Structure formats: structure tokens, C-alpha cells
Structure 1
Amino acid sequence: MSADHDQPPGGRHFEPDLRSMTRINLRPIASPMPLGFYAVAIASVMVGALQLGLFAPGAQLTVALTILPAFVLQLLVSVFAFGARDVIAATLMACFSGLWLASSLVLALDPPGGARVLGVLNLVFTLFAVLMASVTQRKRAMWLVLCVAVPRFAVAAAANLTGVAWLATTSGVLGLLLAAVAMYAAFALMLEDMRGEQVLPIGRSGPAHQAVEGDLSVQLRNLERQAGVRRTL
């Protein structure tokens, strides 16, 4: 039989309805965000302590080596967040990862003009954090971390660009505050993931609240429009 007889009249081709034959397999994973926030906290403590002069002179290389693992850990968190289809968390963790890598290299190598270059990087990261904060209001844990990160990196940028001592000290204090907020967010999310319900208040709302409190039907709503399921991003 000729292939022409298999086509509809007029030679038009209709794509069959594949909905009844489509299966979507979900792969649950543990939330990587506690690890990401813990990495932010630890690296922020080390850099903040350096800015506050709590270490002996010449400790820059040692601090650089201690914050380098934050780059690896947050890159790993970003990969898992992309796998969980959380583009906001993945983007934030990936950019934090790159920031720690750049900071570690500048502190370790101390290249000419490194402080000013790091200042520009911190300034750009501040703008990025502002944009991220504007779209994460319903994810309160992430939003709170970003609300502290914005002034911290803005002051750090000013300190790097001007070399003013009190700005570096202020940046160090804000760095410790950022560490405290990130540590709280990490612990709250970890308890929430372990018990399947909110234990410490983090102010979830909207889809972020439904992600924990909603049933399976809520979780699977509009799944066909999720990244990795639709045809194009």
C-alpha cells in the first residue's frame, strides 16, 4: 500500500494526541538548601572575621583556603536545585558559588588591583541580590538571607573600592549577621525537611507554603509546564 493512502485528505499531517500515552516520572530528592545556607554562613563568618581583624596579620591565604570549599558545596547545591526544578534557588546558589571562588582566588593570590576588582564584583552581586530578593518574597528563608546579603555586599563593595577601614569593619559585622540569618534558615529548613512540617517559623506563603502543607494534587498542578517536561525552556 502506498504511503499516500495513510495520510489525511489534502496531504495535511496531524500530530496524534499523545496525552494518553505520556507518563511523567518524578524523582524525589532531599532539599539541598540547608547545605547551601550553611555554606553561606561558614564562608561569611570567615570573611567577616578577617575584615574585623580577628586573625593574625597574613592570614589571607588561610582564609582563602577555608572559604574555597563553599564554592564546591554551593555549586553542588545548585546542580541538585536545577534537578528539583527550582530555578531561583539554583541560580542563587550558583552565583554564590562563583562569588566565593573569586573571593578565594583574590585573597590567595593578592593580584595587583585585586581589591578594586573584588569591589566591582561585590557591587554587581549586590544588584543581582536585589533582583533575586524581588522575586523570592514568598520563599521567606531565601528572602531574609538576601535582605541581609544586599547591605553586606554593598558595604563590602564600598570598602574594596575606597579602602576605608570603618567600611571594612561594618562589612565584617554585616557578614556575621548574614551568617546568623543563613544558619537559622538552614536549621529551620532542615527540621522542616526531616519532619515534613514547619517547626521553626520562616513565613512561607503562596506556592512555597503549598510545597510543604499542600497535598499531592497541589504539588502536581501544572506539572506539564515545568522545566524538563515542556518542549522548550
Structure 2
Amino acid sequence: MRIGLRPVASPAPMGFAALAVATLLLSMLQLGWLSYGDGTHVSIAVITFAFPLQLIAGLFGFLARDAVVGTSMAVLSVTWLATGVVKVTLPVGTVTSPTLGVLTLAVALILLVPVAGGAETGKLLASTVLLAASVRFFFTAGYEFTGAQLWATVAGLVGLVLCVIALYAALALLLEDVCKRAVLPVFRRGVGSTSAWGDLRDQQGDIESEAGVRERL
């Protein structure tokens, strides 16, 4: 049996950059920096910008054998798509949606899975971004359920923090991928550090047990 490996550029910077833009737009709407009338435009923006970029990042995350990036980006991409579609189709005069509340609460919980995976494998920067995204969706769910402005304000503020963290992660990981060394701290530990800086034997040591190689998932 022959196993072929194809090097790919890291999709994480693109995915985190798309996350930063999407959460910034939503935060500006929740904080009242954009008017209610801009809501449709925000929805269209996250559908056309964040959804495709994070979907691509998710697909290439799986191709790069990174379940943390693949899972989180895939979940986030369809979350933005669903959020945008629901917001665009809300009846005129309706601001919140309990259905969207259930969705964002579920996403907040689901994101804890790749958060745990990233922490376990030593990719602490990615875990931090995803944890912030989980908290952001939790407060967004509270706003969608209650319609209380306090929830929207907190969600918007957390979203701004998430934007900053995601932008830092995008920059740090992009520089790491381009320069082949850590220019900015990316806080890799354990397996995460070995996977980035180990030799070829470290990279392929357990490949026979990975999904797509082993007989069954």
C-alpha cells in the first residue's frame, strides 16, 4: 500500500480572518453602531463573505489532517449561513428569533468540542479563539431568546474581543506558515509543538491509524 501526502498551506489564518469580520459586523449591529435597517446587509455580508471562506478553511483543515480546524471551521461556516438566512427571512419588524437562539446555543456547546481537542493537542491559540466564539454565541443565544438589550450589548462586546483575538490568531498563524517559524507567540505545546516543528518521522509516525488510512472510522 502506498500513502501519498500533499502539503497544503494552513487554512486557519483564512478561517480566523473570516470569523473576525463576521463577528465584527454582528457586534456593530448588536451594539447599535449599525442601524436596524442595516441588518439585511449584515446578513448578506456574512453569507457571502464568512460562509464560503470558513467552509473552504474547514475542507482544507480535514485535508491537512487537522480535525480541530476542520470541525470548527465547518461548524462556524454553516452557522453564519443559517444565521444570515434566518435574519433575512424574519417578518418585517421582528428582531429576534427563538429558533436562532436554539441554534446559537447549540453552536456554543458544539464549539467546546474542538476547544477541548485543541487544548488536548497543545494548540492553545486556536482553543482560545474557539472558546471566545463559544462565549459569544452563548450571549447571542440569550439575546435571541429574551430580546433584552443587555444580552445584545454583552454579546456585542464579547464579539469585539473575539474579533481582536481572531485577527491576532490569523496574523500569527499566517506568519508562522510563511516564515516556517513562530514570529508571534502561537502557544503550541506538546503534540501541537511536535506537529509543527518535528521531523518527518514525527509527522508520519502514527499515520497508519488515522481516518482515511485505517480500515474503519
**Which category describes the TM-score, using the shorter chain as reference length?**
over 0.9
- Residue-by-residue CA offset, 1:103-132 (whole Å, 9 max, x unaligned): 111221214796111111111111112232
- Residue-by-residue CA offset, 1:13-32 (whole Å, 9 max, x unaligned): xxxxxxxxx32211111111
CA distance in 1, matches of 2:95, 2:22: 23
1:62 matched to 2:46:
no
5+ unaligned residues in a row in structure 1: which ranges? Answer: 1-21
> Which structure 1 residue ranges, 4+ long, deviate > 2 Å from structure 2?
111-114
- AA of the residue aligned to 1:156: T
Partner of 1:126: 108
Q: Is the 8 A contact 1:106 1:114 kept in 2?
A: no
- C-alpha displacement of 1:87: 1.8
5+ unaligned residues in a row in structure 2: which ranges? Answer: none
Partner of 2:167: 183
- AA of the residue aligned to 1:162: T
In terms of Rg, which structure is larger?
A: 1
Partner of 2:71: 91
- AA of the residue aligned to 1:92: S
CA distance in 2, matches of 1:37, 1:43: 10
Q: Is the 8 A contact 1:32 1:77 kept in 2?
A: yes
- C-alpha displacement of 1:85: 1.7
- C-alpha displacement of 1:141: 1.8
1:205 matched to 2:184:
no
- Residue-by-residue CA offset, 1:153-179 (whole Å, 9 max, x unaligned): 111111110111111011111111111
- C-alpha displacement of 1:187: 0.5
- AA of the residue aligned to 1:227: A
- AA of the residue aligned to 1:57: Y
CA distance in 1, matches of 2:66, 2:196: 14
Q: 1:20-59 alignment to 2 at 5 Å?
A: 22-59=1-38
Question: Structure 2-normalised TM-score?
Answer: 0.93
Of residues 193, 212, 216 in structure 2, which corresponds to 1:228?
212
Q: Is the 8 A contact 1:44 1:179 kept in 2?
A: yes
Question: Structure 1-normalised TM-score?
Answer: 0.87
Q: Is the 8 A contact 2:51 2:80 kept in 1?
A: yes
CA distance in 1, matches of 2:54, 2:160: 19
- C-alpha displacement of 1:56: 2.7
- Report which stretch shifted further, 143-152 or 90-99: 143-152
1:100 matched to 2:84:
no
Partner of 2:157: 173
Q: 1:150-161 alignment to 2 at 5 Å?
A: 150-161=134-145
- Count matched residues: 212
Q: Is the 8 A contact 1:77 1:93 kept in 2?
A: yes
- C-alpha displacement of 1:223: 1.5
CA distance in 1, matches of 2:117, 2:20: 22
Root-mean-square deviation over aligned CA pairs: 1.4
- AA of the residue aligned to 2:153: T
CA distance in 1, matches of 2:59, 2:111: 19
Q: Is the 8 A contact 2:29 2:36 kept in 1?
A: no
Q: Is the 8 A contact 2:96 2:143 kept in 1?
A: no
Sequence identity (%): 40
